[in-house]
Structure 1
Amino acid sequence: MRHGLGMRAGSILSRYRDSYISYIFLYTGYYLAFASYSSVLSVYLSGIGMTDREMSLILSAAGIFSFFIAPVTGYLNDRARNPKAVPAALLVSVGGLGLVFSACRGLWTLFLLNGVTMAFINSITPVCERVAGSGKYRYGVLRVWGTLGYAAGAQGAGLVLEWLPPGALFLLVAGACGLCLLGLWGVVIQPAMAGAPAQERGLPIKKKAGGRLLLGSLLGNPPFLLFLLAAFLFAGCSGVNINYSPVLLGSLGIPAVSVGTVLFLSTLTEIPLILFSHKFMDRLSGRLLAAICFLLAVGQYLAYGLASSPWTVVGVMVLVKAVASSLYMMLSLKMVRALAPKELTTTGLSVVASVNNLAGILLQNLGGWTAEAFGIQAMYLCMAGLCLTGLVLAAFLRVQNEQRVFS
């Protein structure tokens, strides 16, 4: 009988390996953890007595630490024989650090803990994007579970802050990390170095003795550098928006539980975009997609900066906020796959993430100063101006539209 039970368990485990349900657990768990931790963190910090400047300092730690940590973890993951080892260690660390974060109140302790925790979270994103863009399932049918997970996390975080002790928020984060680990255990991730040589795709690649890849093959690529400059502007403003949109809603008289609902609804609007990404992401040029990203950002920030009605802000936030961010995330994957050697896909995405985080370091503190000195709506008008500059840069992007990533 024991032998029969063992055979049945083995059969279940073999069916689970690389099954669609394992990918559901991976993406739902990761984005649930991401949203639970980050979506209302500004509200949590405000609730424990942090000022706008203190809050901006703590939130900017994510960019500082991620700028240094994300490229290292990305490179280690590309070089690892077991590509699951690095993200698994990061997930365990995130769950534990979140619980420590909930017990601390010191400014510099919170700065340090938030920086390390968000750096580890951000370091997992390139792995998820790489899996979605190269696995046996289409990008959209995998990433949609990330959208649902993020929506559930944003809603759940709002409910927790409204009805439970604040520390319960980080129990939700730890549980979501556990679900992601379960999914990671089941999915199949091929080592990056097993991919086709970069020379087959006509991409320059520098090597050390023994065939080791150098980061210079990315950073010496002018089109990639131009995209990084545009990404700096978009991602910096987007990061400020993620952190300050709950504060904006609160300043307009919307309670915390309703803030969570707004973020939940805004996340759901990106589902059609992700599900049907195979219909347009491989067909439209990177330049056009970048321009659309910046146009959405400019319209969104102008609405936040000029609107006097909370319902106008809520409407724009629900319809545009997550759509613009998701389109930019997919654009980043498209650009890296087009401009970087396949062996350095995760590293390339990590470099983009580091630029995003560097932008967050600068613009988060600048945004906090602007919001405290002139008001949060003035801050959003400044962000609209920065994204107009990004729109001009997008016009000079020249990338061959040959890679099929989403279909």
Structure 2
Amino acid sequence: MRFLKHYHDSYLSYFLMYFFFFFSLAFFSGFISVYLMDQGYSASQVSFVVSCSYILSVIVQPFIGKLNDQYESRYVNSILLLTAAIMGIIFIFLKNIYLIAFAYSLVLAITNGTNPIIERMAILSRFKYGSIRVWASIGYAIATIISGFIYKNIGPYSLYIFFALGELLCVIGILGTHSILPPVEKTNQKISMTSVLKIKHIPFYLIIVCLFYGVTNVHHLYLPAMLKQSGLPINYVSTVIFMSTLSEVPVILLSRFYMNSFTNKQLLMSCFIFLFIQFFTFSFIPSLIVQVIIVFLTKTVATMAFVMINLKIISTIVDHARQNSALSFVSACKSFSSILFQMLAGYLIDFTGYQMFYFVLFICSIIGMILVFFFKVPTNKDLKVFH
């Protein structure tokens, strides 16, 4: 009992939650394109499976956000992640492409729905954001390099056993955190999902979110398969992803120095500039060495920065009572855009190859920069989200 008292709201509980949430995510989805293609499925079938997960996420995520606004977040997310762990074990035994799509979709819908809530918990905890959130990047990076080793030496099915174990440890962490999200009964404003869409700046911002996550999700999905096709062994591919993920660490640890210093618009533009550099390289520079260097320097920097920028923008333009719902809408838009981009990506790769695929993403990055240029998002200089 004494241990439980000290464990409650401890740094250890946040470490377990963040480390093993992203540790599990890497095992389940990090090599899904390689896993399915090695099972004999085509790129378009991989896109079908992943697109199904985003369709279900669009439906489920707003409801997960509303549940977290109304009920105790620790228990809501714990039940959801335990369900995902069970589905991860079931996933091992599935051979039918439609059953694979269903199981994968359910797990990813739960994961994508709980992710923004867990991200927000890092900001609202009593610990510095960087000191907690850095374990997410380390967990994902370690899982990536371990998964490449066990995929080659033990077998692909072992990935999903590690996923289930990681989810269980994540739940132990969640249950030890402090309840910091106030219930809706303490607010005077009735929370509805449609009311979030009526908030000024939200509709335009969701368009930018759709474009950003649409291109980055398909990039992350097919990057391992592209590197493998280019001649890198799977264990080297996992090493590349591992090293690129570690580049998130300084981005997180130094967040309090730049996230509160630049405007929301400047921060958004920087993310699309990183995408521009990435996709320009993959489209026009065929050197594998150069591509790997760019992956090291930019792959996860842009996406990690966008996670923090999103939290800052939502905190700026959405009242406290509806922030969980707004974050879930962002995740739903992320999933919706990924449906469209996954369908396009699969056919582009099957019929034209990876170079044309990345050229399309390059054009999308330019469009994103134009949208951000015309986005009149406010910046509350008195709001210090990151400390």
With normalisation by structure 1, the TM-score equals: 0.92
The equivalences for 1:88-237 within 5 A come to: 88-193=78-183, 211-237=189-215
Aligned residue identity for 2:143: G
Kept in 1, the 8 Å contact 2:125–2:180? The answer is no
Structure 1 residues 391 and 136, CA gap change in structure 2 (3 angstroms): same
1:336 aligns with 2:314: yes
1:252 aligns with 2:242: no
1:291 maps to: 269
Distance, in Å, in 2 between the alignment partners of 1:60 and 1:25 is 30
Deviates more, 1:151-160 or 1:325-334: 151-160
Aligned residue identity for 1:333: L
Aligned residue identity for 1:265: M
Out of 346, 361, 365, the residue aligned to residue 368 of structure 1 is 346
Kept in 2, the 8 Å contact 1:130–1:345? The answer is no
Kept in 1, the 8 Å contact 2:88–2:164? The answer is yes
1:50 aligns with 2:28: no
Count of aligned residue pairs for this structure pair: 385
Give % identity: 28
- Please give the per-residue CA displacement for 1:12-50, whole angstroms capped at 9, x wherever unaligned: 211111111111001001000111111111111111111
Unmatched runs of 5 consecutive residues or more in structure 2: none
- Please give the per-residue CA displacement for 1:71-97, whole angstroms capped at 9, x wherever unaligned: 1111111111x2212110111111111
1:31 aligns with 2:22: yes
Distance, in Å, in 2 between the alignment partners of 1:175 and 1:159 is 18
Unmatched runs of 5 consecutive residues or more in structure 1: 1-9, 198-209
1:401 aligns with 2:387: no
Out of 220, 224, 239, the residue aligned to residue 217 of structure 2 is 239
Dislocated runs of 4+, deviation >4 Å: 194-197
Deviation at 1:196, TM superposition (A): 8.5
State the SS of the aligned residue for 2:183.
Answer: helix
State the SS of the aligned residue for 2:384.
Answer: coil
Deviation at 1:195, TM superposition (A): 10
Out of 53, 61, 75, the residue aligned to residue 62 of structure 1 is 53
- Please give the per-residue CA displacement for 1:96-120, whole angstroms capped at 9, x wherever unaligned: 1111111111111111111111001
Distance, in Å, in 1 between the alignment partners of 2:184 and 2:92 is 41
1:73 aligns with 2:64: yes
Kept in 2, the 8 Å contact 1:154–1:260? The answer is yes
Distance, in Å, in 2 between the alignment partners of 1:175 and 1:68 is 27
Kept in 1, the 8 Å contact 2:17–2:170? The answer is yes
With normalisation by structure 2, the TM-score equals: 0.97
Aligned residue identity for 2:316: A
Distance, in Å, in 1 between the alignment partners of 2:313 and 2:196 is 12
Distance, in Å, in 2 between the alignment partners of 1:254 and 1:405 is 41
- Please give the per-residue CA displacement for 1:317-356, whole angstroms capped at 9, x wherever unaligned: 1110010110111111111111111112211111000000
State the SS of the aligned residue for 2:201.
Answer: helix
Q: Which has the larger radius of gyration?
A: 1
Distance, in Å, in 1 between the alignment partners of 2:284 and 2:56 is 34
- Please give the per-residue CA displacement for 1:179-225, whole angstroms capped at 9, x wherever unaligned: 1011111111223337996xxxxxxxxxxxx7421233320124111
The equivalences for 1:314-325 within 5 A come to: 314-325=292-303
Kept in 2, the 8 Å contact 1:144–1:274? The answer is yes
1:40 maps to: 31
State the SS of the aligned residue for 2:349.
Answer: helix
Distance, in Å, in 1 between the alignment partners of 2:123 and 2:229 is 39
Structure 1 residues 386 and 195, CA gap change in structure 2 (3 angstroms): farther
Distance, in Å, in 2 between the alignment partners of 1:26 and 1:132 is 10
